[in-house]
Structure 1
């Protein structure tokens, strides 16, 4: 009702003229009440003046201006008071709804209380019953007379009868021996990677050129005397010896060596580039050809070599000769590089092009050695398509990376005569895996200097020591 009266009063203030405002509709707001009382008093003064004068009289206008200002102030105060009343009303409504909800939930809560009281009563009765039974049982046990007596006091020996220390020691020693045997057996069964050269040589009746040690350098320079450099020179020397024993290799024309592997990342391109570099250092005019046209890598080993200008350009363009695509290397004057060129959409078809016969026939008359980096033969057929141009194949396997099943594939390729004159190289061999070979270098002041390598005993790992112990 108060809210309605205040709204009506606000509407009357918006009308023209000066009407009295009832002062009993907001008794709780003393400030607004005093303003309304003064406003009504000013209306009385104005009405008295108008009864004796007109509305244009200066006093009447002054009082009218005062009343207009008070109307605005009273209206704002009434709007604020109205807003306050609405908020209080909303708060009362919420409290009323909350009380109604609580009143509505009282029966449900009463049911829960009754249920809990019944449960407590049942548990209490059960507890009392069990306590009574406990007391009855205790009384019954205490009142029963013993039907046995002690004839002789028991005694014991200081040595325990069970458990037996000897049996425990025997079981512990047996388990201690069985555990390493089982571990070694499981590790051998689950290990499918080639870890030493004996894994290769014991299963293949093929020439083994040697191990290539792990190297931090991409290319071995002429003055490099590191173990990795020496291992590459050994492989190159052994390869020369193998080529001399082959009756199919000509003396006048270039010796053509294809380097391949079963899968990628076995170090095929690394071996190829370093063997070619080693031949060139020995004064042989050497050509390095990249025929792994799907994944070319040779340009990474030589500075200033254009990768997209090479073999595929020659095959696709008949206007230039093969000499136009051969690039000199930055290593020495004896080493030349023929990169694979741009990557074509049909690599296998290019390998069947008749210009390849012309290319190899021309190049064999111009170089001493031709080293060819081919595609992995276990993944692609590109190498098989051009294998007829090779005098010998160098097959690369990588330590701790190549699978032992690759050995069977190599043996099958040899039996089927798909690759001729295969020689094996074991790449990325660490010092501890190099069949006991440890390289040493020393300089003596006043006694000259030199370098060498010897067959020294390497430090065995714990697993290898356990294997040796059980073999004994």
Structure 2
């Protein structure tokens, strides 16, 4: 017979029933894990979060463009790209600039019960480093305040890095450093690896500080930048807004807010310095040019004055003036065009060489007179700047680098084509200007020599004068742009406490409750699946759909023969009910009904049920025969009939050593039923039972008895039960409560291989409830 209870076990009712059976485990586990969570929350190191908001100003359509009012503004009208800001604002070079403004090179800690707490302002002492001497970093010194004058400094088998603050580099790594020495506050603590002074702060409670153990650790700005890089987070506030949430994880709120405040100031100052750098460079360049132009202008002015004084001529006639003015205008135009050609040639050489450092030259102010080319150059600057930022942030292997390289390469080719076109156009324009200049010079040559010379001197003077005025105007524009320049970032929300990062009370509470519910559930399901025994009738019926033919109560003491003791009437009654249920079975024969009694493993009460069920039928007047077919052990024969001869039983009949009539015996009690013991233990019990003599024997016995009850070996150990079930009308499978394993029962019942209608279960060792006990006791006294 095959049964499959997997579907039933997966049913929600089965799971709920299993869980509710062990309900007491849930409050125990929930209370236990909740208590552990409370202890963890109380004694674990708290981690806090501080945050701020900054706005990134971007150039938007529809806004007023300051270049409409001041020509100097075009130098700085571009706004920072929002996506680039998320990268550049978290760069390590920027963080190092922040720590240059902060005194964070020494971190202080106070030892708590289960962790060390970082302290900031309320430190009772101060460590002053000698930064001209290499210092031991990345290791913690232990400090114990002994009194107001002395302290104990310890370092045990420590390892760290020797850092030179003057050169900003690591010298070497060291290990095995040990210190255990008393020092006075203010004394120099010095060795080849460190040099510092520990000062006791004024106004502190020394006695209170003596109760604590302190640690301090030295770190360089580079080491601090690496540490804070992973603790700093920048995220957009929303998709539509150009604002950034700046949050940082810290072990000390005040220290975190101090860092964030310095960080925001550094971001704004650094951005403004970068933007002012162009204006400063432009002003410096113009000042240099003004010096040179001023000397040329002074020389031209003195030459003009000397010529006028010598020749006694102060002015030229109207025609000469017109020619001179035209030449002057063309000279200015030719000078600008030549500068443009030189710059185009420079750009063409730079882009042809493939040098990406060209972007630094492109920041120079130059009017190319080609808006398309100007746009392409601005886009090239943006792409190369973005690539450099990724490399500076250690993202050189990022897939975005490959995308940027592809875009830069295509853009470079496009720029080269436009540069070639612009260069040809500029040369053509310069040729046209030179032809006009030649024509005007020819007209000038027709004038008298004195007039021509005067025009030359005046032209040279006015050319330098115009250049000087132009440079002065550009210098003023650059100064205006520098003064009116604003940073791309603005603090929208100043640093403030943003909450506890961990441990989070509600999260821990929910997690501990989850563990308190999940762990016992997992335990119950595993235990039920692999180790659980049957507990009661409901437990069996919930998981298996086999019919229960009877329920046998647990008998006190070691009493086995129930019908021979009148005080056990309630226990006899359980077998009478079993007998009645068997009578209602749909029998194929009116006489000679064969019942096979078996179990999964020894010790489940199989022989006990066989003997007392036989007694119950005999008490009803039925002619009953009990067969001990457990030829391997013969527990029924020895425990109930005290058969020690071992020579007159089933083995001898099956092997035809004796006749059937010679081995049938009658019980010596008043019930008077027949039985056959197992006999001698054969070497081959399976072959003996599978012989055709077994079926013939049972057919002969059917003619002589009303009921034939067979006590067979357990099905999980031998195959005799499966063989005998073929010759039986009913199979009673005995299951002992709190003893039989569920998985063993399932395997055993499947190994039996009997039709469903023939198999029924007898539940043995059921605890008697109080009501049934009183009823039984009452009737037994009557």
Q: TM-score, normalised by structure 1?
A: 0.53
**Does residue 527 of structure 2 align to residue 190 of structure 1?**
yes
* Separation (CA, whole Å) in 2 of partners of 1:145 and 1:187: 61
Cα separation, partners in 2 of 1:390 and 1:143, compared to 1, 3 Å = closer
CA contact (8 A) 2:726 2:754 kept: no
> Residue 441 of structure 1 aligns with which residue?
775
1:361 to 687, 695, 699: 699
1:230 to 573, 589, 612: 573
> Residue 561 of structure 2 aligns with which residue?
219
- Alpha-carbon RMSD across the aligned residues, in angstroms, is 4.0
TM-superposed deviation, 1:422: 0.6
Cα separation, partners in 2 of 1:201 and 1:362, compared to 1, 3 Å = same
Any stretches of 5+ residues in structure 2 without a counterpart? 1-177, 190-195, 205-498
> Residue 332 of structure 1 aligns with which residue?
670
CA contact (8 A) 2:653 2:660 kept: yes
* Separation (CA, whole Å) in 2 of partners of 1:413 and 1:395: 12
My pick for the range that moved more, 172-181 or 226-235, is 172-181
> Residue 649 of structure 2 aligns with which residue?
310
**Does residue 609 of structure 2 align to residue 271 of structure 1?**
yes
TM-superposed deviation, 1:413: 5.4
Secondary structure in 2 matching 1:265: coil
TM-superposed deviation, 1:335: 0.9
Secondary structure in 1 matching 2:773: strand
* Separation (CA, whole Å) in 1 of partners of 2:761 and 2:522: 28
TM-superposed deviation, 1:272: 0.8
**Does residue 637 of structure 2 align to residue 299 of structure 1?**
yes
> Residue 463 of structure 1 aligns with which residue?
none
Matched pairs, number: 294
Secondary structure in 1 matching 2:678: coil
- In proportion to residue count, which structure has more strand? 2
CA contact (8 A) 2:595 2:708 kept: yes
1:100-153: per-residue Cα shift (whole Å, max 9, x none)? xxxxxxxxxxxxxxxxxxxxxxxxxx999964675569999579899xxxxxxx
* Separation (CA, whole Å) in 2 of partners of 1:286 and 1:335: 6
1:386-414: per-residue Cα shift (whole Å, max 9, x none)? 32221110011111221212453366457
Cα separation, partners in 2 of 1:134 and 1:257, compared to 1, 3 Å = same
Secondary structure in 1 matching 2:690: coil
Q: TM-score, normalised by structure 2?
A: 0.33
Cα separation, partners in 2 of 1:135 and 1:419, compared to 1, 3 Å = same
Cα separation, partners in 2 of 1:307 and 1:204, compared to 1, 3 Å = farther
TM-superposed deviation, 1:172: 7.3
> Residue 256 of structure 1 aligns with which residue?
594
TM-superposed deviation, 1:262: 1.8
CA contact (8 A) 1:307 1:340 kept: no
Cα separation, partners in 2 of 1:229 and 1:316, compared to 1, 3 Å = same
CA contact (8 A) 2:665 2:675 kept: yes
> Residue 64 of structure 1 aligns with which residue?
none
TM-superposed deviation, 1:208: 0.8
* Separation (CA, whole Å) in 1 of partners of 2:611 and 2:694: 21
Alignment of 1:22-421 (within 5 A): 131=183, 135=187, 141=199, 179=516, 182-183=519-520, 186-191=523-528, 192-215=532-555, 216=557, 217-221=559-563, 223-242=566-585, 245-246=586-587, 248=588, 250-251=589-590, 253-303=591-641, 305-306=643-644, 308=646, 309-318=648-657, 320-332=658-670, 334-409=672-747, 412=750, 416-417=753-754, 421=758
Secondary structure in 2 matching 1:193: coil
CA contact (8 A) 1:302 1:330 kept: no
Secondary structure in 2 matching 1:221: helix
